[in-house]
Amino acid sequence: MKLKHGNSPVIAVLMQILMPGLGHVYWKDIMFGIFVFLVIMLASILYVVSLFIKLPILAKGILFTLPVLFYLFSFVDLLRTVRTKQKKIHQTAKSAIIVLLVGLLYQFLWPLAPVNFGLQNIPEVFVEKNTELYPLYSKGEILKASRLAYFLNIAVLDRPLFHSLPERFDIIRFEMGPGDNRCGVVIGLPGEEIEIAGGVLVIDGVPKLASTPSWLNLTGDWELTSIDGYSMLIATMRLGSVDKLYEVPLSKLHGKVSRLF
């Protein structure tokens, strides 16, 4: 459909979706448009900060519900603004296209914009090709490795920002080499000394008799391994039993494994 003019409320709503407050700025309600933009930017920054600070669920609910409600209200106000100014201001198709391009650039270039942030942190989706994760997951199941469970990527930074480390016995996805991604269970955490003796996990010289989950069979003996401060000890499995152990740098972590649906 050819764009003949820029006065359509639909175009204004699309602008507001692409960039908070942009629709208001387009319709000359500049101060309120800037205010909407700043509120949503503050909410985005608070979301990132909340990953690093433990907050009660109620506090998180209030913290993020209010900006969302305000953003939704901004669409109602935008439509009112369009109806009020439609007869006074004639917006051309050219000006609408330029403003829409600004919104698109914001989505792809601003690190905390939904499209940019989503592309940087989208989960890795894969099909379990064998039975190495049995009995938790079966061959053929569609799984995902969620990056945001442990870290987030910001486009302007050259390394991920970790907000938490994997817990022992988490199932994770990690990189062995270029194009070689595998799944395994976290056995040892950074800075620990790990040993498996007689099927018992020994952490820093202390046997952990009751902590091993029922689905994991720690058969055999594995020699003492000292993990450096930036790595984890990962066990690949075969039918619920430990197959091999790998010391994996945190930089090779792809995310926490769970079912896609």
- Domain-ending residue, one of 94, 120, 146: 120
Q: Can you tell me the distance from the alpha carbon of 205 to that of 194, in angstroms, rounded to the nearest whole number?
A: 8
Instruction: Tell me whether residue 137 is in a domain.
Output: yes
**Same-domain status, 18 and 93:** yes
| Per-residue pLDDT reduced to its tens digit, 207-238 | 887 778 888 888 778 888 899 989 999 999 88
Q: Total structural domains in the chain?
A: 2
**Same-domain status, 126 and 254:** yes
Instruction: Tell me whether residue 212 is in a domain.
Output: yes
**Same-domain status, 155 and 182:** yes
pLDDT of residue 3: 58
Instruction: Tell me whether residue 220 is in a domain.
Output: yes
**Same-domain status, 110 and 155:** no
- Domain-ending residue, one of 120, 146, 169: 120
**Same-domain status, 180 and 250:** yes
C-beta neighbour count of 118 within 10 angstroms: 10
Instruction: Tell me whether residue 1 is in a domain.
Output: no
| pTM over 0.85, yes/no | no
- Domain-ending residue, one of 120, 148, 175: 120
Q: Rounded mean pLDDT of 148-173? A: 92
pLDDT of residue 1: 45
**Same-domain status, 79 and 184:** no
Confidence of residue 148 (pLDDT cuts 50, 70, 90): very high
Residue 6 predicted with pLDDT over 80: no
CA atoms within 13 A on the CB side of 258: 10
**Same-domain status, 99 and 214:** no
Residue 45 predicted with pLDDT over 60: yes
Beta carbons of 163 and 151 less than 8 angstroms apart: yes
Instruction: Tell me whether residue 4 is in a domain.
Output: no
| Per-residue pLDDT reduced to its tens digit, 68-104 | 999 999 999 999 999 999 888 888 889 999 999 999 9
Residue 158 lies in domain: 122-259
- Per the DSSP assignment, residues forming a β-bridge with 236 are 244
Q: What is the mean pLDDT of the chain?
A: 90
